[in-house]
Homo-oligomer: A and B are copies of this chain.
Amino acid sequence: MLSLQDLRDAHNRIRPFIHRTPCLTSRTIDQMAGATLVFKCENFQKIGAFKARGGMNAALQLADSERRNGLATHSSGNHGQAVAYAAQQLCIPAYVVMPRTAPQVKKDAVRDYGATVIECEPTIVAREAGVANIVAQTGAALIHPFDDDRVIAGQSTATIELIDDNPTGKPFDVIMAPVGGGGLISGTALATYYLSTTADGSKTRVIGGEPEGAADAVLSFKSGHVETAPYINTIADGLMAPLSQRTLGYIRQYVSDIKLVNDAEIRAAQRLVWERMKIIIEPSCAVPLAAVLRYRNEFERQTIGIILTGGNVDLK
């Protein structure tokens, strides 16, 4: 169980390597939602996503002897870039196992940070085997994308900053993040639990957002067991992973609810942010706003912090 001091330590540890990203607001979107929304812009983060925080913290917490041979992970997306970035900062090698079907632009981004890309078949079994193999060959340290308290502590720092920098003058009633493997929402929930109360002194609630086309977390949240999604089909490609026991534990303890939204709602929310806020966000990133707009009655008149997780979309 991560303490407040663990989160503070993570923040101090990674501060030289990350951006303190801005919090933005939009009067138009507030009017549509009937609420006061604060967007924490992790799309402006190093590597274009919050994952730089968790990857950097995990890498920095490794002993020199553990990380001497480099870092390894498997990823089809932002976590691979995060590990590559962390390794580059520490002048050690990185090995990222990626499905051969991953977009060329993502493979190039990982290589741009000086990492070695190892291609594998696009299955979870092949990915895990690929990483086990590279770890055995090189002695590199494995950094899991979310099932790791050091990663979760790193992700929590976005929420620490959101709470510190809240520009509205009104305490948060709710803080929201999307749910994939659960690393971000776990860190978000821990930071909120330790640091945020509402105007009437009760705890700020943390609410997750999940696509209907990858609805494992909402099932796991109800049953108390790690469940798989009934089907996987969504544009929110960063949110397909199932939870781990660890992240489910944090979610059951500190998250109030998980809201489902469909792809049309995600697209509409993403477009709203592009058009009205003039910033580029990934589809996964738009899930909490889509939930605020879909379940308007539950959210209106509240002050809501939303982690905008990243901006890595292929613009072609």
Interfacial residues of chain A within 166-207, with CB under 8 A of chain B in the complex = none
Pair A311/B278 contact, Cβ less than 8 Å: yes
Chain B residue nearest to A109 in the complex (CB): B275
**Of B271, B277, B281, which is within 8 A of A315 by CB?**
B271
Chain B residue nearest to A45 in the complex (CB): B278
Pair B279/A48 contact, Cβ less than 8 Å: no
**How many whole Å from A140's CB to the nearest CB in chain B?**
26
- Docked CA distance A271–B278 (Å): 14
- Docked CA distance A44–B281 (Å): 15
Interfacial residues of chain A within 38-54, with CB under 8 A of chain B in the complex = 43-44, 48
Chain B positions within 8 Å of A281 at CB level: 278
Q: Is A274 an interface residue (CB 8 A)?
A: yes
Q: Is A83 an interface residue (CB 8 A)?
A: no
Chain B residue nearest to A314 in the complex (CB): B275
Q: Is A77 an interface residue (CB 8 A)?
A: no
What is A's interface to B at a CB cutoff of 8 Å?
22, 24, 43-44, 48, 271, 274-275, 277-281, 311, 315
Q: Can you offer 16 A-B residue contacts whose CB atoms are under 8 A? A: A22-B22, A24-B44, A43-B278, A44-B277, A44-B278, A48-B278, A271-B315, A274-B280, A274-B315, A275-B315, A278-B279, A278-B280, A278-B281, A279-B279, A279-B280, A280-B280
